[in-house]
Amino acid sequence: MRAVSNDILNHVEGTEEMPNDEARKKSWKKRDAKAMYILSSSMELGLEYLLTCETSAEMWRKLSFFHEQCSESNKLLLTKFHDYKMVGSDSVAQHIAKVENMARQLSDLGENLSVVTIMAKILGSLPSKFSAFVTAWDSVDPDKNNL
C-alpha cells in the first residue's frame, strides 16, 4: 500500500490529529495533502465527490462507506440472480432478457459473470416443460452454444 510506504497511513486512518503548534501543523498538512493526492489519484471516475473532503481521513471514510454500499448491492443482486426462475407468463425471449439484464447490472457493479454462468442460469431456470430443449442444448457442441 502506497500509504504505508509514504508514512501517511496514520493520516488516512485519522489516528494522527493536526497538532496545535504552527511548525508541526505545516508538516502535518503537507503529509495529509500527500495522502489526499494518493487517494484521489487512485480513485475511479465517478468518485469526484471525494475531492471536496478536507482531510485524507474524511476521504477514506467516504470511500469505505461507498464500497460497503456497493458490496451490499452486489449481494442483493447476486441473490436475486441465483434465485430467479422464469415466470410462467414470460416468453423465452423475455426470460433471456431478464437474466441478461441482471448479469449486466452485476457487471456494472463490478461482478462479472461468465457467459457459461449466464447460459447455465438461463437454462437452469426454465420450467420443466422445456426439459427436452435443455437436453438438446446439452448435446450440442459447446463451441456452438452461445447467447
Q: What digits encode the pLDDT tens for the residues 85-131?
A: 998 889 989 999 999 999 988 887 778 888 889 988 998 999 988 88
User: Do residues 55 and 13 touch, judged by C-beta distance below 8 A?
Assistant: no
Angle between helices 22-42 and 56-83 (to 10 degrees): 30
% of the chain exceeding 90 in pLDDT: 14
Calculate the alpha carbon distances from 66 to 38, 62, 103 in Å: 18, 6, 21
Q: What is the pTM of this model?
A: 0.51
Q: Which are the contacts of 1, defined by CB distance < 8 A and separation ≥ 6?
A: 9
Does the pLDDT at position 145 exceed 90? no
pLDDT at 97 (0 to 100): 93
Q: Mean per-residue pLDDT for 22-38?
A: 84
In the chain, where the domains are located: 1-66, 84-139
> Model confidence at 7, in pLDDT bands (50, 70, 90)?
low
Q: How far apart are CA 43 and CA 139, in angstroms?
A: 46
Q: Which are the contacts of 34, defined by CB distance < 8 A and separation ≥ 6?
A: 6, 8
DSSP states of 78-114: HHHHHH----TTS-HHHHHHHHHHHHHHHHHTT-PPP
pLDDT at 5 (0 to 100): 46
